[in-house]
């Protein structure tokens, strides 16, 4: 087996399980006699002098159980649209050729990119420029196409569910509507899974625009049965039907390249209080969902993805992403999985099952659904 030199980076938002992936890549590669370079702070590390760190087995000892990433991450370093200040303004500059040159200078046999759709799209474009890349899907949002799961999602759901459990008792004690805003951007997976597991009465996701009347109808039905409180789990990207828009903290995309979502919980609480005689309280979980010790599932998935990616490098399977499908580790071409998001099916089995037991998704109830 020939000696290889590989590098890995973590791009975009951190996710619990990242260190499990890094640990698995390093152990698996070092075990084959290969050299591993860690790139600091995502793609930015390939454009700076101090962005590289050699990684050996000792460097990954004791990190399996820690959140975050020992490599650091960034969502500002897209080399194709690198932000630079000019005359007090942020302008975008294409520095991809520098990245490709750096990879050649380093004589890398492979670049492993651990990231969500944004970082994987960058990896795909670098692949088109001749860089041998392997992707590993990461995001708490679970919205990467081509894989049943991304690591980080399970821990985020666990954190959100635990918060909903705590809010349940205080909601019941005070006869209030508790609104819990969770992350997920354009995908409602966290709201769906954590909301369902936490016994949410109303779950609002971007894939199903909500009607305030349908939400209030659910409160009224519960109240008629003596339940004078409700739990509303709302995904940050959820929006009202009609011309309703997502709520953003800031529309300024100049630094990150994307709109920073957040605030729908408060907007919704105001709407609810205006339409229904109740008292609302709002909890925005925010980045709490990105931190903490990873669950068993995320440590295991991260480890399998890390080893799977190294196996792909050995087999020369480049321009592909390691994936989980039907419990098996497999892979998919980056070109097929980037540029689109895996979203919740509004009429899928999970949504229908929840509706059949009385969960409201903020849309009018259909005849077959229970009022329970």
**CB crowding 323-337: b at 16 or more within 10 Å, else e:** bbeeeebebbebeeb
Tell me the CA distances in angstroms from 245 to 248, 249, 366, one per residue in order: 9, 13, 25
Residue closer to ligand F6P (CB basis): 111 or 156: 156
Identify the residue among 121, 139, 150, 235 touching ligand F6P (CB under 6 A): 139
Q: Provide, rounded to whole angstroms, the least separation between the CB of residue 45 and ligand F6P.
A: 18
Angle of helix 264-275 relative to helix 212-224, nearest 10 degrees? 60
Q: Provide, rounded to whole angstroms, the least separation between the CB of residue 112 and ligand F6P.
A: 20
Tell me the CA distances in angstroms from 337 to 8, 124, 185, 252, 342, one per residue in order: 20, 10, 18, 27, 9
| 129 in Cβ contact with 100 (< 8 Å) | yes
Residues 213-242 that bind ligand F6P (CB under 6 A): 236
Q: Which of 14, 141, 143, 201 is catalytic?
A: 141
Q: Is there binding between residue 205 and ligand F6P (CB under 6 A)? A: no
Residue closer to ligand F6P (CB basis): 132 or 265: 265
Site track for ligand F6P across 74-93, x = CB under 6 A = -x------------------
Q: CB-hemisphere CA count at 13 Å for 6?
A: 33
Residue closer to ligand F6P (CB basis): 114 or 183: 183
Residue 141 annotated as catalytic = yes
Phi/psi of residue 132, nearest 5 degrees: -75, 100
Phi/psi of residue 151, nearest 5 degrees: -75, 155
Identify the residue among 5, 32, 125, 260 touching ligand F6P (CB under 6 A): 260
Q: Is there binding between residue 13 and ligand F6P (CB under 6 A)? A: yes
SS3 state of residue 294: coil
Q: Provide, rounded to whole angstroms, the least separation between the CB of residue 199 and ligand F6P.
A: 22
Q: Provide, rounded to whole angstroms, the least separation between the CB of residue 10 and ligand F6P.
A: 13
The beta-strand segments (E) located in the chain are: 5-10, 35-39, 52-55, 82-86, 89-93, 110-115, 133-137, 177-182, 202-204, 230-235, 248-250, 260-261, 280-284, 320-325, 328-333
Q: Provide, rounded to whole angstroms, the least separation between the CB of residue 87 and ligand F6P.
A: 26
Identify the residue among 183, 285, 307, 321 touching ligand F6P (CB under 6 A): 183
Exposed (0-12), middle (13-18) or buried (19+): which is 217, by Cβ within 10 Å? middle
Strand order in the sheet with 230-235: 202-204, 230-235, 177-182, 280-284
Identify the residue among 134, 140, 324, 334 touching ligand F6P (CB under 6 A): 140
Q: Is there binding between residue 319 and ligand F6P (CB under 6 A)? A: no
Number of residues in contact with ligand F6P, rule: CB under 6 A?
14
Identify the residue among 66, 256, 311, 319 touching ligand F6P (CB under 6 A): 256
The residue at minimum Cβ distance from ligand F6P is: 183
Beta carbons within 8 Å of 56's beta carbon, 6+ residues apart:
26, 30, 36
Q: Provide, rounded to whole angstroms, the least separation between the CB of residue 261 and ligand F6P.
A: 5
The residues assigned a catalytic role are 141
| Chain contacts with ligand F6P (rule: CB under 6 A) | 13, 75, 116, 139-141, 183-185, 236, 256, 260-261, 290
């Amino acid at each position: 087996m020939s000696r290889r030199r590989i590098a890995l980076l973590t791009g975009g938002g951190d996710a619990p399980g990242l260190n499990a992936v890094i640990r698995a890549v390093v152990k698996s590669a070092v075990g084959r006699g290969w050299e591993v370079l860690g790139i600091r702070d995502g793609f930015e590390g390939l454009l700076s002098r101090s962005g590289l760190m050699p990684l050996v087995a000792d460097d990954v000892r004791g990190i399996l159980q820690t959140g975050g990433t020992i490599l650091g991450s960034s969502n500002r370093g897209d080399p194709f649209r690198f932000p630079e200040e000019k005359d007090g303004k942020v302008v975008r500059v294409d520095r991809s050729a520098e990245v490709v040159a750096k990879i050649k200078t380093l004589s890398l046999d492979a670049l492993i990119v651990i990231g969500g759709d944004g970082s994987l799209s960058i990896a795909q474009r670098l692949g088109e420029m001749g860089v041998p890349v392997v992707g590993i899907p990461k995001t708490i949002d679970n919205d990467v196409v081509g894989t049943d799961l991304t690591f980080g999602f399970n821990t985020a759901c666990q954190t959100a569910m635990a918060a909903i459990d705590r809010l349940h008792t205080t909601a019941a004690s005070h006869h209030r509507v508790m609104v819990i805003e969770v992350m997920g951007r354009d995908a409602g997976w966290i709201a769906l899974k954590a909301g369902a597991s936490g016994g949410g009465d109303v779950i609002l996701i971007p894939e199903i625009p909500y009607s305030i009347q349908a939400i209030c109808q659910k409160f009224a039905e519960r109240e008629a049965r003596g339940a004078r409180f409700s739990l509303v789990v709302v995904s940050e990207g959820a929006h009202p039907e009609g011309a309703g828009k997502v709520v953003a903290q800031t529309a300024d995309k100049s630094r990150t390249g994307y709109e920073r979502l957040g605030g729908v919980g408060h907007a919704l609480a105001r709407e609810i209080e205006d339409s229904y005689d109740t008292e609302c309280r709002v909890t925005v979980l925010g980045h709490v969902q990105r931190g903490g010790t990873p669950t068993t599932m995320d440590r295991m998935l991260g480890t399998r993805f890390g080893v799977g990616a190294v196996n792909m490098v050995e087999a020369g399977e480049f321009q592909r992403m390691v994936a989980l499908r039907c419990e098996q580790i497999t892979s998919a071409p980056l070109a097929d999985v980037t540029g689109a998001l895996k979203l919740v099916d509004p009429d899928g089995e999970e949504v229908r099952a929840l509706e059949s037991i009385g969960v409201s998704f903020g849309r009018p109830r259909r005849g077959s659904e229970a009022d329970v």
